[in-house]
Structure 1
């Protein structure tokens, strides 16, 4: 799926600046890309010999040749696709990377390790990898690598080991380690070793002595040159010793909060963040956390491709999450963008790595991961936002001879399934204002509010999660930019204006732009969820989906206001990362609402937290604050109507 914020783009600079508002750069537009895998007919792979774009149904053809829509080169024709979206099989394969598993044994409850062992014994074989490595974090600050020849332990009490790891002295450790081949073993052997290990309890008045940073450093030693090694980590608390330390061992010292990061008072934050940024050049990590307390996710964010918190590994939600992500953990894929002459690529917003460009079609106003048209990513279900710029002419008259009525944007998503490689090709055709059916308001009339919201959320999340711009001042700057964007759309009377303004109103009260009632780790997890989540999930994170269950029927609610507080029937609220069922009394409708909520938890990845509360119950305040961020309802925020009045006044000055 490719969707653009505008289906009509400008051709002159005046049109671009006056009719194409953008939160980052006026005159630019955004495209959302979410490829659908396995839904299209597979045809022969036909790539342009000049620009490497691929054929699609709108390309001109003869009996034996097809003309590239991007560079007008003639190429040999094997088979013409019947749509703008299709899949082709590719030659060769990239091989399947081994997976390194890091297990934190520090836990006061031995049942946690047993629950983890149970899930891994049932689900680890579902990964496409055939070789696994195991590193365990032990309670006295030791880290053990479980080799086929026997365990090898590194102690955080050894100052040489800690110093060399902090300085990223790879050669020192490579001399000590045996050949990489003795690390890898089968899933059955790994589960067998894990079954023989015991959890480690902490001393009274202290946190566990946990050397998470050292464990991940040792994991990074096993990455092959030029590649990123996938790591699955199962953590139960923060790093308290060695490189990557985020909090002291003694419980009297508290882990950093938002005000500590804003005032630059936490002495562990910057060294830990820099350390994990260096490791991110060698490994990427899928993290499962068995603790609702902070464990240092903010510091580890450069490493994390995904991160999910649980109250316990014994939760059904953990087993569901691991099974649903199993196929995604070792996926290494690539996305390439080709565009018509007249469009330039600003950059990509997502958990991606820059690759060498296949074409110099990137702009001089970079944003996101920029300076290329090709990126690597570690997921089989990407949801990426791209910023593009139309290379407009100085005047409308001069654009007629240089910019056609239609432009094309093509995405090529290369992935591996089993031992076979495929490429998913999706092409989007956008009209320009030089099209014969264009009108003076064609640009704003083609605005897509849903895509505009999702791309904006991913841009904000990228700045926070990837660039580390999480200071309160950064959030205030974004809130001002959001209001300015709303005012510009209000002045233009863009299509779907009322819906878009409500989205922006609600966006300002999410964890992207508010620190209230969240910890730094909670905010980081929210940012990561937005950055890698689907468009539908991002919309739910901004504006929850509400259903009322009455008389055996379910009714959707669009106006989320204080009237919902007085509804006596059962209500199910789907907020993307949480699902709440609210009811006045136990009834058949409440049971139906609960069943519906459970179906969401069991099918969504990652599975949301499920809460069930009677009216006035302990979780009812959570229901109110999540659903209705308006004045007089447990908050000091302005109402939607007050916000619309504010935007109307701001639009007079745009």
Structure 2
């Protein structure tokens, strides 16, 4: 069934936890796993681009789809969501039973409309670079080199601006390259848009409007004044010569006003290009120590905040900084602008505080140790380069949901923000961004995915006659967005799912369970609860959910764990939950708050296949006598004479066993008679290069290590510790793991004991 679910995802970009739904609210509660969908709005797939506007239902605004009921004689179609009858307009193309419109064909459940009217065309995207100059000279040269490459990759028609910051914020005036000019803002103060307009002298030549809000050329701002700060990329090759590093003292942390710089950037874009596709690309090389949102003082002896400090509420700057970036996210959402964060430093830079502004605007995030690291350079290159892998950057998205009256929308966990458009489909219980049927997505790309939670309406909320006439639920996802060519498009995905009820509903639900989608939904949900519920215990919640699920769908005899049996549809789910308990999303004490925030931002925007790797990585074994093959994610997979390739999404590990490492150090691969060994050494590198190339905007870290070396921990931390100290089942040349964690078999034994004793 996994292949079938993947085929549906390839066609419509959607995976659902349950593809057969329970018919009542009580039955939906009993199945434990939420009814949810992971939807990738812009997933590349074979579809038809229709060069006209969509036909919409007058009452509910649903778009015409293959599930609409047509009367060709009367030229009327019936909406499957609200059952309203709508008349076809006279201009509708090729309306006949022999040649129906494209969007009515059964195979076209996903179609895309391109608006032709000129009023839907929006100016080309704007990239505003916000550059940290409080870094050492070597790091600054790395950053300048990467930005020079980015400028050559940016489309010629794109608009570029530059802001640098250190102790103060400098807005660079690019319109006069012969005489560079900067406007300096105090790093301690938060700036309003009106203050920025006055200080940047936008109204020296033209009078300022006496009424209304100044926002772009339409509202009184001249194009000439805007071009002083935002120029086409072809005219900005010189702009990096305006940047100089700021003096960095060695006895204290640099005075860095990151919050003020981002505040000025947001106000500048809000004044010049409101409503158009624009990205603030922030390059930060250390923690903010000054301004409205510092995360730490300049004193080097003061340690960075940890998860334990946050839990004890022992972080003096945290709450103020979080509130500042929440307000910044609201401003960016109102302006339809994106915040991308490139955080490159050995220290924490404040990703945990900035998380809301990055995630809610749909921004990208890169976390690296240096601006000279390949992770940063390759990630920045992929934002603009489309030759190797086009990530399909898009802007100005609005996401809407239509569904049958029997379904309620609880909310979304993902890179979006509520538009507070309430309606009859809103559920009383809220998860994530809820109480709405429309969400803002300022930035999105080919892999941006949303996790949508649904609820089954109770008996009093729907017409029982309607439900008894049909056993279908309908869902429609509408995504408006600005394509890279500047035109607005609408992608419409309409799907149908059966509902079942009655005494046998449990057995009827089994064929529609998608274990991969289910574990990703549970991971997003447990991460969300850990952030929003202070007293939440994730391990207890995961264990209780798994016990209840297996108790409900499994067959067993009381007090006999060996009698337990469950459908193959659930065969991998307990193992997924075991690795979820050990993952970086639950075991946060192993990481800094910045790293945890980074992991969750990426998780909340990735599709199912990529997210699975974050929880249960893949492990491939290479040896001289066998072709490469997948092996269990277990410590017993380490054996002499083998090379292991681990892909955990964020990290790719090439692990050499003791003998392989000894042969490599002896230089056997350089001798002609050992060509087979040379090919063995190269094979995992070729596979790693392929994975990195196809990964998308998140470039993984490549770790090459030998058995018993310090970096072998990147592999051992992900393996099932079935062989621990004192075990007698260690294979020749194998490994043991010293840990307090239980192995998977012991975990299953405890699980079955709890289930059969309930």
Q: Would you say 1:520 and 2:520 are equivalent positions?
A: no
Contact in 2 for aligned 1:214/1:242 (Cα 8 Å): yes
Contact in 1 for aligned 2:623/2:641 (Cα 8 Å): no
Mean alpha-carbon deviation: is it higher for 4-13 or for 231-240?
A: 4-13
The counterpart of 2:250, out of the listed 192, 195, 204, is: 204
The residue number in structure 2 matching 1:40 is: 47
Q: Would you say 1:387 and 2:387 are equivalent positions?
A: no
User: Which consecutive unaligned segments of at least 5 residues does structure 1 have?
Assistant: 23-27, 157-161
1:212 deviation in Å? 0.9
Q: Partners in 2 of 1:499 and 1:601 — Cα distance?
A: 27
Q: Partners in 1 of 2:627 and 2:533 — Cα distance?
A: 40
The residue number in structure 2 matching 1:317 is: 375
**Quick one: structure 1 residues 495 and 442, their matched pair in 2 at CA, closer, same or farther if it must change by over 3 Å?**
farther
Q: Would you say 1:508 and 2:572 are equivalent positions?
A: no
Other structure's SS at 1:195 match:
helix
The number of residue pairs the alignment matches comes to 630
User: Which consecutive unaligned segments of at least 5 residues does structure 2 have?
Assistant: 1-12, 94-100, 203-224, 333-337, 385-390, 555-566, 665-676, 725-736
**Quick one: structure 1 residues 653 and 577, their matched pair in 2 at CA, closer, same or farther if it must change by over 3 Å?**
same
**Quick one: structure 1 residues 154 and 17, their matched pair in 2 at CA, closer, same or farther if it must change by over 3 Å?**
closer
Counterpart mapping for 1:558-637 below 5 A: 559-566=632-639, 568-584=641-657, 585=660, 586=664, 587=677, 588-605=679-696, 606-628=698-720, 632=724, 633-637=737-741
The counterpart of 1:643, out of the listed 747, 751, 754, is: 747
The TM-score with structure 1 as length reference comes to: 0.89
**Quick one: structure 1 residues 232 and 463, their matched pair in 2 at CA, closer, same or farther if it must change by over 3 Å?**
farther
Q: Would you say 1:341 and 2:426 are equivalent positions?
A: no
CA RMSD in angstroms comes to 2.8
Contact in 2 for aligned 1:55/1:80 (Cα 8 Å): no
1:438 deviation in Å? 7.2
CA deviation vs aligned residue, 1:388-408 (integer Å, no higher than 9, x gap) = 011143899968854621111
The counterpart of 1:86, out of the listed 111, 116, 119, is: 111
Contact in 2 for aligned 1:239/1:295 (Cα 8 Å): yes
The counterpart of 2:284, out of the listed 231, 235, 248, is: 235
Contact in 2 for aligned 1:329/1:379 (Cα 8 Å): yes
The residue number in structure 2 matching 1:373 is: 437
The residue number in structure 2 matching 1:25 is: none
CA deviation vs aligned residue, 1:431-455 (integer Å, no higher than 9, x gap) = 11159x9755112442110010111
Q: Would you say 1:68 and 2:79 are equivalent positions?
A: yes
The counterpart of 1:219, out of the listed 256, 259, 265, is: 265
The residue number in structure 1 matching 2:126 is: 98
Contact in 1 for aligned 2:25/2:456 (Cα 8 Å): no
Q: Would you say 1:114 and 2:141 are equivalent positions?
A: yes
CA deviation vs aligned residue, 1:196-224 (integer Å, no higher than 9, x gap) = 42223421222222111111111121243
Other structure's SS at 1:253 match:
coil
Mean alpha-carbon deviation: is it higher for 388-397 or for 349-358?
A: 388-397
Mean alpha-carbon deviation: is it higher for 340-349 or for 44-53?
A: 44-53
Q: Would you say 1:416 and 2:482 are equivalent positions?
A: yes
The residue number in structure 2 matching 1:159 is: none
1:90 deviation in Å? 2.3
CA deviation vs aligned residue, 1:437-495 (integer Å, no higher than 9, x gap) = 9755112442110010111222234445xxx4386x43xx2222211211122111365
Counterpart mapping for 1:105-254 below 5 A: 105-110=133-138, 112-124=139-151, 126-127=153-154, 130-138=158-166, 141-147=167-173, 148=175, 150-156=181-187, 162=188, 164-165=189-190, 171-179=194-202, 181=226, 182-224=228-270, 227=275, 230-254=279-303
**Quick one: structure 1 residues 534 and 628, their matched pair in 2 at CA, closer, same or farther if it must change by over 3 Å?**
same
Contact in 1 for aligned 2:410/2:429 (Cα 8 Å): yes
Contact in 2 for aligned 1:347/1:368 (Cα 8 Å): yes
Other structure's SS at 2:622 match:
strand
Contact in 1 for aligned 2:394/2:482 (Cα 8 Å): no
The residue number in structure 2 matching 1:540 is: 613
CA deviation vs aligned residue, 1:160-189 (integer Å, no higher than 9, x gap) = xx2x42xx6554444333326132123244
Q: Partners in 1 of 2:201 and 2:504 — Cα distance?
A: 68
Other structure's SS at 1:334 match:
strand
1:414 deviation in Å? 1.9
Q: Partners in 1 of 2:494 and 2:460 — Cα distance?
A: 28
Q: Partners in 1 of 2:599 and 2:498 — Cα distance?
A: 35
Q: Partners in 1 of 2:373 and 2:750 — Cα distance?
A: 45
Contact in 2 for aligned 1:578/1:609 (Cα 8 Å): yes
The TM-score with structure 2 as length reference comes to: 0.78
**Quick one: structure 1 residues 638 and 434, their matched pair in 2 at CA, closer, same or farther if it must change by over 3 Å?**
closer
Other structure's SS at 1:345 match:
strand
Contact in 1 for aligned 2:613/2:649 (Cα 8 Å): yes
CA deviation vs aligned residue, 1:62-116 (integer Å, no higher than 9, x gap) = 3344322212223416414332122222242344442321001122133x33333
The residue number in structure 2 matching 1:303 is: 357
1:597 deviation in Å? 0.8
